[in-house]
Structure formats: C-alpha cells, structure tokens
Structure 1
Amino acid sequence: MFPKISLITFSLVAVALGQQIGTNQAETHPKLTWQTCTGTGSCQANSNGAVVLDANWRWTHNVGGFTNCYTGNTWDNTLCPDGETCATNCAVDGADYAGTYGITTSGNALTLKFVTFAQQKNIGSRVYLMADDTHYESFQLLNKEFTFDVDLSQLPCGINGALYFSEMDADGGVSRFPANKAGAKYGTGYCDSQCPRDIKFINGVANSEGWVPSPSDPNAGTGNTGSCCNEMDVWEANSVSAAFTPHPCSVDGQTSCTGEDCAIQSRFDGLCDPDGCDFNSFRMGVQDFYGKGMTVDTSSKFTVVTQFVTNNNSTSGTLSEIRRIYVQNGRVIQNSKVNIPGMQPFDSVTTDFCTSQKTTFGDTNSFQQHGGLANMSKAMAKGMVLVMSIWDDHAAQMLWLDSDYPIGADATKPGVARGTCAQSSGDPVTVEGQTPNAQVVFSNIRFGSIGSTFTA
C-alpha cells in the first residue's frame, strides 16, 4: 500500500475485558467459501475457506494472566524490557470477530465494518484467507485470473477497502522463526512494501525496542524493526477512487529491516518500492469512469477481474502485464485508457506503462529500481497470501488515493489529481467521527485460468 498503515492495536482492561476476548476466548476462524475455476462455468467451491484476524489487532497480555503487555500505544517496560523477553512473557489472544472487530461472513461474503463499538471502540481490521486452521492460502498468480465482487457504496472519502496479495509465509513464520508460537492461526507474519515498523511482533520477537508512540494515533507506534515483502495491490478503493498497484522488493519473501533498509530517512532508500506503479483511472486522466453514477457505478455491487499475463502465456513465464476488467449488471466493462498528454492510451500495467507514467509525472522510478514486474513475478510464482482490510490513514490521510496529492502541488499537473475528495476529507478523527458505519463487502471470490472466472 502507498502510505504506512496505522494499525489499530488493542489493549484490553485487565479482568473485565479479558473475560470477553481473553484467555477463555477460543480462536474460531469465520468461514468464507471461495471458488477455483478451470473454465467458464466450471468452478468448484472451496468450502473449507476461512479468514483470520491479523495479530496486530489482538489483545496482548502476560502469559496465563490478564495484565496488558501493550496499553494504548506503549509497551509495559516490566514485561517487555527487550524484544525477546517480551515475546517470552506475552501472548496474543483469540478474537471476538463480530462483537469486537465488526468482521462477519455469510457464505461467500465477508463484511468489514469501519468502526465497531463494544466495551471500547475498534477502528478497521485486516484479515487473511486461510487454507486450513494453521496455514494461509497461498496463490500462485502467474497466468491466472483473480475475481471478486465488491460493494463499497458505503465507503466514503478517506477510507480504503483493500484487497491485495502479500509475500507472507503460509504458516505465519513459525517454521522459520521457532520463537513464533502463534503462527497463521493467530494472524502473524505480516509484511508489505512499506516495510511497516508498527507491527508488534516480527519474526517471533516483540518490536518493543526503540518503540515511539504515534503522535496522532492513540493505538499505534513504530519500533526499530520493519517487515518487508513484495505486495500486489489488486484493489485499493472507496466509492470515489480505485487503484491497482504492484510494489516490488529487492528481497525474497518476508524480510525484517532496520535503519535505512526500512526507508526511515529517505522514502526510496529501503528494500521495497513504496510507491509502486499504480493504475488509477482518475489519475490517468479519465475522471468519469469510476464513481457513483459513472461507467463503473460504485453505488451498487460490481465484479473486479484482474489478469496476470505472462510473456509466454503460461504459468512458467514471467509477468508481463496486469489487466483489469469490470462486470456490472451483466455488462463487461473494459478498463479505461490513459488520457494524459505525452502518454500512449495504455489500459493495463506493463513495464512501458510504468516507465512512461514515472517520466510524465516526474516521479522517482523506484518501481524499476526494485526490479519491476520481474521481481513481482518471482513472488507470484512462489505464492502470495490474500489480504483484505478496511482502514483510514494517519500518515497521508488517504489523499494519495482519492484527492490531490502531494499537498501543495499544482492539481493541474499530470498525476497530482487522484480523485474528487477534498484535501481535508481524510483526517482520521473526522472520518471516524462522521462515518463510523462505513463498511466494505467482498464476496464471490474466484481464482483460475485466464477467462475462467467471469462471463463475457
């Protein structure tokens, strides 16, 4: 994802809330059916599918007790004098998915609510698709097609309903890092192209050392260590704007970082490409394609198809193009074409598109510097984990998705305008206060050979 995500982390008040989702709270993964397709009309249901909540949202407390290891946005210095001791002393707990986090499933549909009011307020969530109770589903995407339905009619400016792939370990990291006892069952092992340093446990060790509480987010902070990996943003969107974006890294698989490898001082000095090569129809000059009442009408549900085309049209090839198709009300809608002076009418993500975009917009070509589609291809061949989330943005207020960005830039300059939202619209306090009932619904997930998951 483009900015560094401000993850919401819980600290539950001792015994009272511990009884709600404490050590007696069993971890039961909500079921979510999805389909594998081999040809049009030939799809088989994966009825054993389920989702798991990311570990960063969970209550972290002393082993066998109810004392918080993490309260608000700070660690307990007694339980956590250093990262290894903290990991020995502290545990993550089971989750009340619906009651505390606003996460529900029904058949093939997953609903993620933005704000949930229980005994305390929860903001957003992030979940992963499971293969079984202790492993994430791993998707090998080369020369394949990934399709889902989405309803984001209740998702306004400043909020992101995201669906993407991360090069995480399928077991959550337990085989590589024996100190990690929780594993995929409890949503561990997250990484992305921002090399996020707000992850509470990385490689089985608490990220408590050097932890600095966030000045704007009462639940988050950053430690000395980040967690990096290749990321394919299939869908970052609200009802106003949408983008799909590959983010390559120069490392293979989930990799921890410290210092400038995490791009602390300079955005482009890290192990991964933070900006990616994005295709946002509005940013690419077509301002009437996506939105309420437009060609892709976000006031109702629609289907998103993404095709990962290789140079030899086989699963053994190298990723050469990422194509997008929409289906709504029985009508197949081809992706919009670039309408920017000086650029060809591209309608997909290719190396030529990315190079042309970076040159025309005057952006640093960090995408190619980190290996471009070739490095993304390696991650897809190995397998990537499906992530679905809803979140607001304490780092850049989601302006990079749905408004004019960077702040202060001339909105008439190519690449600056990304949507119609006001630059004041993404303030988290405002968004959380004014639109707590926002939600996104992902449903009818299908995966298979190109052309097999939808009807033209």
Structure 2
Amino acid sequence: MLAAALFTFACSVGVGTKTPENHPKLNWQNCASKGSCSQVSGEVTMDSNWRWTHDGNGKNCYDGNTWISSLCPDDKTCSDKCVLDGAEYQATYGIQSNGTALTLKFVTHGSYSTNIGSRLYLLKDKSTYYVFKLNNKEFTFSVDVSKLPCGLNGALYFVEMDADGGKAKYAGAKPGAEYGLGYCDAQCPSDLKFINGEANSEGWKPQSGDKNAGNGKYGSCCSEMDVWESNSQATALTPHVCKTTGQQRCSGKSECGGQDGQDRFAGLCDEDGCDFNNWRMGDKTFFGPGLIVDTKSPFVVVTQFYGSPVTEIRRKYVQNGKVIENSKSNIPGIDATAAISDHFCEQQKKAFGDTNDFKNKGGFAKLGQVFDRGMVLVLSLWDDHQVAMLWLDSTYPTNKDKSQPGVDRGPCPTSSGKPDDVESASADATVVYGNIKFGALDSTY
C-alpha cells in the first residue's frame, strides 16, 4: 500500500518515443553597443498543447477536443498514463527555419491531422528556455505580415514562464522545456492540457466553436509583455501584469478572472493590458498596406524598455533603410505621446472609459520587477475563436459606436475574422520572424 501511495504521488507526464524531437535552429544576436553584436546559437520548441499525447504505445490520450476517459478519468491517472511526443515541425506544423528566421504557416494538412496555428519558445539549450531581462534594454526583430489578413494574429511576446518548463518545481513536469511545458500568460488560459506537470483533464469542456480545443478547471497565470500582436491591417504593443511572482496555477473566477464583465478584473492578472495600437490611438495613416509602415513588405520592429526598473516603453520601425518613429496619440484627453508609461495608461483608460486594471495590478512598478526576474520569448500565429480578433483590427466592442474613443481599432469589418472563414480562405497564411537582436538601448538597429 505504501509503494502504491508513493507511486501515485510521484506520477508524472512521460516522454514519448514515437517521434524524435529535433528542435529547429533560431540564432540571434546579443548587442553590447551599436555595431558590436555577437551571435548566439538558439533553437525553438513547440508548445506541449500542440503535441501528440498518447499512452506510450500510440493510443491517443486526447483526441479532437476531448480527453479519452479510459486513460484520463482524473488528472493524476491521466498524467501517469500519458506521454508527450516529439514534433514533426515542418510536416505536421508548417514550421520552417533557415537558422536566423522562422516561418510559421497557419494551416498545415499533415498525414494524420490538420494543424491550426502554432506557439513556440526560444531555447537557451536543449532543455532550458532563454530568459531575457528587459529593464533598460531593447529587443529587435524583422517581420513579414504581408500574408496575414484580418482575423489572424502573428504574435511575438514575452511571458514569465519557468526557464526549465517547471521541471524543478513540479515533480510531474518531466518533459520540461524540451517538450514545451510550462506556458502561462495574463489571460490565465484554461485551454492548456498540462499545468504544473499534471493533466488538466478533470472538468474538461470541449469548446463548441473549436474542434481542437477545450477548457479545464485550472488556468495558468503570469505577467506578459506583448511586444508584437499584428496582422497586415493593425498592430498593438501591450504590457500586462499579474499579482503573481512567476507562473501560478489558478482556479475559479476569483483567481483566473473571466472573459466578460467584472469577472475580467477579478482575477490575478490584468487581462486588458495597456495597449498602444496606432489606429486606435488616432492615426489611420501609419500602419498598413501602402502606409508609412508598409505591411506589403518586411520591416524591422524595435522595442525599447527605458529605465531600470522600466518606466517607459518606446517603439521604432526600420523599413528600406529608414528609421521610422512611432506615431503619436491623437485622442482628446491623452498627451501627444508615442510611448507607453503609467501616465499614458492613466490618461488612455480615462479617455476610453476603460478600467485601469494595469494600475490596479501594479503598473510599471510591477512590470519592472518582472523584467528583472526575466521572461521567455514566445513566437506564435493564431486565430480567435472568442471574438474573431476584432479587439485588434476592427470595431470592438461591436455593440458600441465606433466614433467613441477607443472603439475603432482597425479597418477590418466586424464580419471578418471568423475562424471557419480564415481557416478556409487563408489556409496558406504565414508570418516570418527573423534577425532577432537584444541588447543595450540604440544598439540593435
């Protein structure tokens, strides 16, 4: 009986052997000063949510958007019986790397399944995520969003994940960072199949609008720095902070928050964030096809985190050899600024009639603490089964007049972005991230 009890306590998610895990290379540069950059060897790994989960012999533990009850009657049994396997990055997920740039394809028809979107993390070595400390630094990358229409989001961002994917903290997280465990963000997502090294299968409810996803009773929360959320029509730069220190599993609305109403502000994290979307901030001539930052061609994105601890976030672009300063806000009641700060957030939330949950959860003081501990880089491409990405590129909320400050966020119609539509009409959509540089302010461009 004692042996059985110990075995139950020590149960963990296993590592499968059906598919070899060969991480795509993604090298980048660390810059001490302008013109003084050194190459860093890196690679990426696929998030565990996208991976094949089976019993070790090839029988699915998760199929479609449902856990198989015979293998997963509860979280601990499911964790003990199921493994995460390696990824066929190009054939199954449409991921291609040339060593310095990564191409993410939206829909990939594989031999056994159709894959939608992806989420990957930059690794320091085979089993450890690279941790970036952002205070008084800048982060730069090139991007091509020309093939991303309304409703898609090519997102490059940072989250306060554990560097080892939770392997040291949670006994069950055996696959660790090598197999993409440990994800968290400021939405406290509950669609994760594994949290804290355990399956999230108990109480799992398949999503009615998504044949691949569901939601468990737990979520996974941590602070998030959205450096880049974009398609060819709109872009947003958004910090989010949480009450947590690092990743924390949540349950219930008092911890996880919610999508709507006051529940959205009840949880551990600031789900709305404090965003700078050029269109939403009053400049409809700055970002898009044929505009100042012309999304028909690739360009470079420079994000600067001023102060140690950070007090301001600034943005620049480089296209065709020309440095382009970010557009300034043009909204009554908001200073004509191109940067995000506590003062900007206070003015913006008041002008837009929004709750300043960024301030309530700690604002830039909290963000500086997170930056000092360090964050993991995420590269992703996704569509939105909740609100069709209208919050990024259209009128949102849709029941408000778009003439109200903050409601008009982009040029896309409110009928756009429906997942069935974009997955059919834009299956070949791609985003390309490359030429990543990190270092001292004004050193990377």
C-alpha distance in 2 between matches for 1:107 and 1:94: 20
Q: Using the TM superposition, name which of 118-127 and 439-448 deviates more.
A: 118-127
**Aligned residue type for 1:70:** Y
Q: Is the 8 A contact 1:79 1:85 kept in 2?
A: yes
C-alpha distance in 2 between matches for 1:122 and 1:159: 15
C-alpha distance in 1 between matches for 2:126 and 2:146: 32
C-alpha distance in 2 between matches for 1:170 and 1:237: 26
Is 2:160 aligned against 1:160?
no
Q: Is the 8 A contact 2:92 2:109 kept in 1?
A: yes
- Structure 1 equivalent of residue 243 of structure 2: 250
- Structure 1 equivalent of residue 180 of structure 2: 187
C-alpha distance in 2 between matches for 1:380 and 1:343: 26
C-alpha distance in 1 between matches for 2:22 and 2:58: 20
- Structure 2 equivalent of residue 15 of structure 1: none
- Structure 2 equivalent of residue 109 of structure 1: 101
C-alpha distance in 2 between matches for 1:187 and 1:334: 36
Q: C-alpha offsets along residues 157-204 of structure 1, whole Å, 9 cap, x if unaligned?
A: 000000000000000000000111110000000000000000000001
- Structure 2 equivalent of residue 452 of structure 1: 443
- Structure 2 equivalent of residue 73 of structure 1: 65
Matches within 5 A, 1:64-103: 64-103=56-95
Is 2:37 aligned against 1:43?
yes
C-alpha distance in 2 between matches for 1:159 and 1:422: 13
Q: Is the 8 A contact 1:227 1:257 kept in 2?
A: yes
Question: 1:346 deviation in Å?
Answer: 1.3
Question: 1:23 deviation in Å?
Answer: 3.0
| Other structure's SS at 1:388 match | strand
Is 2:18 aligned against 1:24?
yes
C-alpha distance in 1 between matches for 2:212 and 2:389: 19
C-alpha distance in 2 between matches for 1:438 and 1:344: 37
Q: TM-score, normalised by structure 2?
A: 0.95
C-alpha distance in 2 between matches for 1:299 and 1:138: 32
C-alpha distance in 2 between matches for 1:118 and 1:225: 30
Is 2:326 aligned against 1:332?
no
Of 198, 207, 225, 1:214 maps to 207
C-alpha distance in 1 between matches for 2:241 and 2:350: 18
Matches within 5 A, 1:279-290: 279-290=276-287
Q: C-alpha offsets along residues 43-65 of structure 1, whole Å, 9 cap, x if unaligned?
A: 1011x200000000001001x31
- Structure 2 equivalent of residue 276 of structure 1: 273
C-alpha distance in 2 between matches for 1:379 and 1:445: 21
Q: Count residues with an aligned counterpart.
A: 426
**Aligned residue type for 2:216:** G
**Aligned residue type for 1:355:** E
C-alpha distance in 1 between matches for 2:37 and 2:417: 40
Q: Is the 8 A contact 2:16 2:84 kept in 1?
A: no
Q: Is the 8 A contact 1:284 1:340 kept in 2?
A: yes
- Structure 2 equivalent of residue 203 of structure 1: 196
- Structure 2 equivalent of residue 7 of structure 1: none
**Aligned residue type for 1:34:** W
Structure 1 stretches of 4+ with a deviation exceeding 6 A read none
Of 103, 113, 125, 2:118 maps to 125
C-alpha distance in 1 between matches for 2:295 and 2:354: 29
Of 330, 345, 348, 2:336 maps to 345
Question: 1:85 deviation in Å?
Answer: 1.0
Q: Is the 8 A contact 1:50 1:129 kept in 2?
A: yes
Question: 1:107 deviation in Å?
Answer: 2.2
Of 350, 354, 368, 1:359 maps to 350
**Aligned residue type for 1:449:** A
C-alpha distance in 1 between matches for 2:191 and 2:88: 23
Question: 1:77 deviation in Å?
Answer: 1.1
| Other structure's SS at 1:319 match | coil
- Structure 2 equivalent of residue 389 of structure 1: 380
C-alpha distance in 1 between matches for 2:317 and 2:246: 31
Q: Is the 8 A contact 1:22 1:66 kept in 2?
A: no
| Other structure's SS at 1:267 match | helix
Q: TM-score, normalised by structure 1?
A: 0.92
Question: 1:333 deviation in Å?
Answer: 0.5
C-alpha distance in 2 between matches for 1:219 and 1:107: 30
C-alpha distance in 1 between matches for 2:154 and 2:103: 10
Q: C-alpha offsets along residues 103-151 of structure 1, whole Å, 9 cap, x if unaligned?
A: 1100210000001111221100000000000000000000001000001
**Aligned residue type for 1:286:** D
Q: C-alpha offsets along residues 303-341 of structure 1, whole Å, 9 cap, x if unaligned?
A: 00000011xxxxxx3210000000101111000000012
Q: C-alpha offsets along residues 408-454 of structure 1, whole Å, 9 cap, x if unaligned?
A: 11000000011000111110000000011100000100000001101
C-alpha distance in 1 between matches for 2:333 and 2:50: 45
C-alpha distance in 1 between matches for 2:215 and 2:73: 16
**Aligned residue type for 2:25:** K
Matches within 5 A, 1:400-415: 400-415=391-406
| Other structure's SS at 2:178 match | helix
Question: 1:22 deviation in Å?
Answer: 7.1
- RMSD over equivalenced CA pairs, Å: 1.0
The alignment-based identity, stated in percent, is 57
* Structure 1 portions without partners, runs of 5+: 1-20, 311-316
- Structure 2 equivalent of residue 10 of structure 1: none
- Structure 1 equivalent of residue 166 of structure 2: 173
- Structure 2 equivalent of residue 137 of structure 1: 130
- Structure 2 equivalent of residue 369 of structure 1: 360
C-alpha distance in 2 between matches for 1:231 and 1:415: 22
Q: C-alpha offsets along residues 203-224 of structure 1, whole Å, 9 cap, x if unaligned?
A: 0111001111101001101000
**Aligned residue type for 2:345:** C
| Other structure's SS at 1:68 match | coil
Q: C-alpha offsets along residues 217-252 of structure 1, whole Å, 9 cap, x if unaligned?
A: 011010000000000000000000000000000110
C-alpha distance in 1 between matches for 2:331 and 2:252: 38
C-alpha distance in 1 between matches for 2:39 and 2:70: 49
C-alpha distance in 1 between matches for 2:210 and 2:399: 24
C-alpha distance in 2 between matches for 1:146 and 1:248: 19
